[in-house]
Amino acid sequence: MAYRAVLFDLGGVVCGSPLEAISQYSRDLQTPLSDCFSPRVFHPASLVPSNAEPTDPSTSPTSPSCAAIHPASIKPNVLSRIFLSSQAFRQLERGQIDLDQFYSLFDSECKQFGIRNMNSRELMKRMHVRLEPRPEMIQLIQRLRSHGLLVAAVTNNWKKSRLDARGVDVERLDRYFDLVVESCVVGIRKPDTALLLHACRKFNVQPSQCVFLDDIGRNLAPARSLGFQTIRVGSNYHQAIRQLVDLLQLDIPAEGGARDKHQPAIRSRL
């Protein structure tokens, strides 16, 4: 297969993972979580666990039994799942609300799960700190472009608020990509494949001609079903770099290669 384009997620792939910041914040909170909430699956529309019966008062977020707090801190994956299933966060990434609106809405959502001292502003600041570019990924992108491949950033991101920085500072990363597609600008967020297909149209390529890298499995599965070659980026992102280099069969060092002296010109940004 002759691949023509590589599509990169930003947070957790090109940059550090915001999920690590969420996990650390969970540990720092030392806030107990009621046992009546399942940490496995949350209903995305209402933030009610999918295994909870609506008519069962023992599983209602406002029921006395659910308010009973146990002396154990939130498990890191629980807050991450609440965050990723949050309606407020989805609206934020689609550009429908700004950060100031998100803070209030998400704090209210967390209270439904017994998290009473959530400070969304602090959490988002910590996430922003984690979103530093990974030098090896930047070097890899430079080498891919020098080999004639089209490279895009396709990211779920949020708009800048009055006082707070945006999610990934794409202005700093623009020069490394031929195309940047942000959910908050287009109004579509992953895992909706329309965001990826938007990039394909701009590049005039087919999904089967693209490799897509993301750190979240539920973003990769729909893309794979459309013909994208996918690579999941874990905590050992060097492994993903090696996978990509092997897949493309290019003469690129696995660590990304040396930095180019001159950056190729940017052709488009959305």
| For the chain, domain boundaries | 5-16+132-248, 18-129
Q: What is the pLDDT of residue 20?
A: 87
Q: What is the pLDDT of residue 169?
A: 65
How far apart CA 108 and CA 227 sit, in angstroms, is: 39
The string of DSSP letters for 137-151 reads HHHHHHHHHHTT-EE
How far apart CA 52 and CA 58 sit, in angstroms, is: 9
Q: What is the pLDDT of residue 167?
A: 57
Contact 195, 205 (CB under 8 A): no
221-229 contacts: CB < 8 A, separation 24 or more? 221/191, 222/191, 222/192, 222/193, 223/191, 223/193, 223/196, 226/193, 226/196, 226/197, 228/7, 228/196, 229/1, 229/3
What 3-state class would DSSP assign to 19?
A: helix
CATH of domain 5-16+132-248: 3.40.50.1000
Q: What is the pLDDT of residue 82?
A: 84
Helix 120-130 vs helix 18-29: crossing angle, to nearest 10: 140
Q: What is the pLDDT of residue 116?
A: 80
Q: What is the pLDDT of residue 60?
A: 35
Overall residue count recorded for the chain in this entry: 270
Comparing CA positions, the residue from 81, 92, 3 lying closest to residue 42 is: 81
Helix 99-111 vs helix 76-85: crossing angle, to nearest 10: 120
Cβ neighbours around 104 below 10 Å, total:
12
- Residues with Cβ within 8 Å of 210's Cβ and at least 6 positions away in sequence, in order, are 3, 4, 5, 6, 7, 196, 199, 200, 203, 228, 229
* Joined tokens for residue 156: 């779920």
Cβ neighbours around 226 below 10 Å, total:
15
Contact 132, 249 (CB under 8 A): no
How far apart CA 209 and CA 5 sit, in angstroms, is: 7
Q: What is the pLDDT of residue 142?
A: 96
Q: What is the pLDDT of residue 48?
A: 39
Q: What is the pLDDT of residue 255?
A: 55
Q: What is the pLDDT of residue 172?
A: 79
List, run by run, the mean pLDDT of 10-residue segments along the chain (270 residues). 93 92 82 38 38 35 33 58 89 94 93 85 90 95 96 91 54 91 95 97 98 96 98 96 95 54 42
Helix, strand, coil shares of the chain, percent, nearest 5, are 45, 10, 45
Q: What is the pLDDT of residue 76?
A: 54
* Joined tokens for residue 119: 């400070």
Q: What is the pLDDT of residue 205?
A: 98
Cβ neighbours around 270 below 10 Å, total:
13
Q: What is the pLDDT of residue 270?
A: 57
